[in-house]
């Protein structure tokens, strides 16, 4: 069977042309980085369709169109493919580098296309530019190969490796047949590469959509677990994390709970307004978060009350940490509102006991200790009765 390469090129273009408007229309439903990358991807498909139509018309239109313009359009599409995927992967886009590769590649191809026509040089230069783009994509995707890596990224990795193999096959073909005359000349390598290029828009779009879906899912999962005001875990996530940490705690000194509450917060709202109150909460949460050791979990229980869970921590360590937090918060200028007094916190602490039936027992003891801290005058840290001396000496209002 004789395969007509121009027909395959046009078939690939048609697929990309049909896919592009579907993806571009879908972008309306989304927002953020994912939307931008999906838009770029849709545009890339349009550019590839134009590029491959022009390539497929080789011999029927001038070389300026089928070589210079076609390769220019394709270079832009490869640069934009790289940009869209890097955007989705959350790595720097490296725009200057992408443009430099594209311009250098296109100028080289144009020179050996119309000034001193040389098919071999054109293939070498196109391969070089393509490989540079592929490397910029394959490098951040390498993490997918780790255990538990992203399946969507693995699919994309396979699609890109297929493209790389196609270009290697063409280079090999060129080495075997130095007199190769052009992209559309019939040879096994050209057939393989053209067929792969024709189905690549569909394969790469599937990979892209899988990655896109994964990004959106991760973002939704993060949003569903985050308190929007303070950026700490919300109640749902806090409950999940508490259960997990409680299951892992099996003996004393393996888990401590720290319930933190802002003192006289109502006064801040009443005197400076709800917005200033919100800013105090956000700044306080940020101040506490970065002072907690890495395995600790911080969430908002509600209102101006936070819960920190400290795995691998006993009551003495938790007391010391809470005291550091109390002193640090008292010294912080959380919100520079004119006349706003310094904010203080009170904290109640409880440590895991083998007789605790659930994490609720632990948190309830910490909550009662917080109540004692409030009754004792606020701006102080108190451990649950039986866990340590009830009132931290030296803490004053």
Ligand X SMILES: Nc1nc2c(ncn2[C@@H]2O[C@H](COP(=O)(O)OP(=O)(O)OP(=O)(O)O)[C@@H](O)[C@H]2O)c(=O)[nH]1
Name the burial class of residue 338, with classes exposed (0-12), middle (13-18) and buried (19+) by CB atoms within 10 angstroms of its CB: exposed
State which residue, 351 or 366, has the beta carbon closest to ligand X. 366
Q: Which of 277, 299, 311, 348 binds ligand X (CB under 6 A)?
A: 277
Paired strand residues for 260? 306, 347
Number of residues that bind ligand X (CB under 6 A): 16
Instruction: Tell me if 261 contacts ligand X by CB under 6 A.
Output: yes
We find the least distance from the C-beta atom of residue 332 to ligand X, in angstroms, to be: 17
Candidates 6-14, 29-37, 266-274, 287-295 — which segment interacts with ligand X by CB under 6 A? 266-274
Q: Which of 80, 263, 367, 387 binds ligand X (CB under 6 A)?
A: 263
Instruction: Tell me if 265 contacts ligand X by CB under 6 A.
Output: yes
Instruction: Tell me if 264 contacts ligand X by CB under 6 A.
Output: yes
Candidates 76-84, 239-247, 275-283, 331-339 — which segment interacts with ligand X by CB under 6 A? 275-283
The candidate with the shortest Cα–Cα distance to 166, out of 136, 140, 203, 139, is: 203
Give the whole-angstrom CA distance, residue 137 versus residue 139: 6
Phi, psi of 297 (to 5 degrees): -120, 130
| H helix or E strand, kind and range, residue 102 | helix 95-110
Q: Which of 128, 269, 323, 361 binds ligand X (CB under 6 A)?
A: 269
Residue ranges with strand state E in 279-338: 297-302, 305-311
Q: Which residue is nearest to ligand X (CB)?
A: 277
Candidates 120-128, 161-169, 182-190, 264-272 — which segment interacts with ligand X by CB under 6 A? 264-272
* Chain centroid offset of residue 240 CA: 23
State which residue, 246 or 265, has the beta carbon closest to ligand X. 265
Output b/e per residue, 133-153; b: 16+ Cβ within 10 A: bbebbeebbeebeeeeebebb
We find the least distance from the C-beta atom of residue 240 to ligand X, in angstroms, to be: 22
Q: Distances in Å between the alpha carbon of 320 and those of 23, 264, 369? A: 55, 23, 15
We find the least distance from the C-beta atom of residue 296 to ligand X, in angstroms, to be: 22
The candidate with the shortest Cα–Cα distance to 119, out of 66, 193, 40, is: 66
We find the least distance from the C-beta atom of residue 195 to ligand X, in angstroms, to be: 59
Which is the catalytic residue, given 80, 200, 241, 304? 304
State which residue, 34 or 281, has the beta carbon closest to ligand X. 281
Residue ranges with strand state E in the chain: 255-262, 297-302, 305-311, 345-351, 381-383
Residues 384, 356: contact at Cβ < 8 Å?
Answer: no
Instruction: Tell me if 262 contacts ligand X by CB under 6 A.
Output: yes
Q: Which of 142, 143, 177, 274 binds ligand X (CB under 6 A)?
A: 274
- Collapsing DSSP states into helix, strand and coil, what is residue 386? coil
Q: Which of 80, 200, 241, 304 binds ligand X (CB under 6 A)?
A: 304
Instruction: Tell me if 241 contacts ligand X by CB under 6 A.
Output: no
We find the least distance from the C-beta atom of residue 274 to ligand X, in angstroms, to be: 4
Q: What is the CA radius of gyration of the chain?
A: 31
Give the whole-angstrom CA distance, residue 210 versus residue 172: 33
Instruction: Tell me if 374 contacts ligand X by CB under 6 A.
Output: yes
Q: Which of 239, 278, 323, 337 binds ligand X (CB under 6 A)?
A: 278
Instruction: Tell me if 266 contacts ligand X by CB under 6 A.
Output: yes
Kindly give, in sequence order, each residue whose CB lies less than 8 Å from that of residue 61, ignoring residues fewer than 6 positions away.
Answer: 54
Instruction: Tell me if 306 contacts ligand X by CB under 6 A.
Output: no
Query: In this structure, what DSSP letter does residue 67 have?
Result: I
Candidates 129-137, 145-153, 181-189, 270-278 — which segment interacts with ligand X by CB under 6 A? 270-278
Give the whole-angstrom CA distance, residue 383 versus residue 380: 10
Is 305 a catalytic site residue? no
Residues in region 138-157 near ligand X by CB under 6 A:
none
Active site residues: 304
Residues binding ligand X (CB under 6 A): 229, 261-266, 269, 274, 277-278, 281, 303-304, 374, 378
């Amino acid at each position: 069977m004789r395969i007509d390469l121009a027909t395959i090129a046009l078939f690939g273009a048609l697929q990309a042309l049909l896919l592009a408007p579907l993806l571009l229309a879908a972008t309306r439903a989304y927002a953020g980085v994912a939307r931008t990358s999906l838009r770029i991807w849709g545009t890339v498909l349009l550019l590839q369709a134009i590029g491959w139509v022009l390539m497929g018309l080789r011999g029927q239109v001038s070389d300026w169109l089928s070589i210079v313009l076609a390769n220019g359009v394709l270079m832009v599409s490869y640069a934009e493919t790289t940009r869209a995927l890097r955007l989705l992967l959350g790595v720097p886009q490296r725009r200057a580098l992408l443009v430099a590769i594209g311009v250098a590649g296109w100028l080289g191809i144009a020179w050996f296309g119309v000034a001193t026509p040389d098919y071999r040089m054109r293939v070498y230069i196109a391969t070089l530019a393509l490989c540079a783009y592929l490397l910029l994509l394959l490098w951040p995707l390498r993490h997918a190969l780790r255990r538990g890596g992203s399946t969507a990224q693995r699919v994309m990795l396979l699609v890109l490796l297929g493209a790389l193999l196609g270009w290697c096959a063409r280079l090999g073909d060129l080495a075997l047949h130095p007199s190769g005359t052009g992209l559309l000349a019939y040879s096994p390598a050209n057939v393989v590469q053209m067929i792969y290029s024709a189905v690549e828009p569909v394969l790469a779009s599937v990979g892209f959509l899988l990655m896109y879906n994964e990004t959106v899912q991760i973002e939704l999962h993060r949003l569903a677990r985050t308190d929007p005001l303070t950026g700490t875990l919300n109640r749902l996530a806090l409950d999940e994390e508490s259960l997990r940490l409680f299951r892992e705690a099996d003996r004393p000194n393996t888990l401590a709970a720290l319930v933190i509450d802002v003192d006289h917060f109502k006064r801040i709202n009443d005197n400076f307004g709800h917005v200033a109150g919100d800013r105090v909460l956000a700044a306080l949460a940020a101040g506490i978060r970065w002072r907690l050791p890495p395995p600790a979990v911080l969430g908002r229980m509600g209102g101006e009350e936070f819960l920190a869970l400290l795995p691998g921590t006993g009551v003495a360590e938790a007391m010391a940490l809470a005291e550091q937090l109390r002193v640090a918060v008292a010294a912080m200028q959380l919100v520079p509102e004119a006349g706003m007094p310094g904010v203080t916190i009170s904290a109640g602490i409880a440590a895991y006991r083998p007789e605790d039936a659930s994490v609720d027992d632990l948190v309830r003891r910490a909550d009662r200790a917080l109540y004692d801290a409030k009754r004792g005058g606020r701006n102080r840290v108190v451990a649950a009765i039986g866990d340590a001396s009830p009132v931290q000496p030296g803490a004053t209002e």
